[in-house]
A = this chain, B = another copy of it.
Amino acid sequence: MGKGEETKRAIVDQALELASTVGLEKVTIGSLAGATGMSKSGLFAHFRSKERLQLQVLLEARQRFVDIVIAPALKKPRGEARLRSMFESTLKQWEAELPGGCIFHAVAAELDDQPGPARDYFVETQREYAETLRRAAEIAVEEGQFRKDVDLDQFVFELGSITAAYHHFGRLLGDPGAEQRARNMFEGLLARSH
């Protein structure tokens, strides 16, 4: 890996940290230059536009999510165990990965009415994740762990609602019981699917 690639990674890492707390748009070229000890122009040259920088940040976020949440789950047995693994690592490792918690929740609102490549990629990422969850639930049905009449789309919707609420109540409103309630909710969802 050449020198250029190395500093580029360092910049994106820094940008990811910043973005998880203040949002994508507020990760400014200037502030990023300050945080990395580089000049604005030197940093900028690696991306040639802010839009491309934002895309790199989302790309890196997806990669980390795959490494932390998806990949370990794929090593677990198919079906329910896999769902449990994804839920658990989302709640613990993924929330702890960045200072602002789940970066997808942090940037979702700011991207949702702002067309462009960043939004497109983000939505694609979310859909892909939803599909992964759906497939895992489908397997759980096939394996006989879930009832045959489980509504898969409804299941994914409810599963997604848990982490959304966890982020909202836990991080924003500072409710220390949010984690436990998220877990309760997950167990309830599984129990109803059996």
Instruction: Give the B-binding residues of A (Cβ under 8 A).
Output: 21-23, 25-26, 100, 105-114, 123, 126-127, 130, 151, 153-154, 157-158, 160-162, 164-165, 168-169, 171-174, 177-178, 181-182, 184-185, 188, 192
Contacts and interface: CB of A to CB of B under 8 A. Distances in A.
Secondary structure dominating the interface of A = helix
5 contacts: A107-B109, A108-B172, A130-B173, A157-B181, A158-B181
Considering the complex of A and B, which 9 residue pairs feature the smallest CB-CB distances, nearest first?
A: A161-B165, A161-B161, A164-B164, A21-B113, A157-B181, A112-B172, A109-B109, A106-B109, A154-B181
Give how many copies assemble into the complex.
2
Nearest to A161: B165
A185 B165 CA distance: 14
Given A23-B110, A108-B109, A164 B168 contact: yes
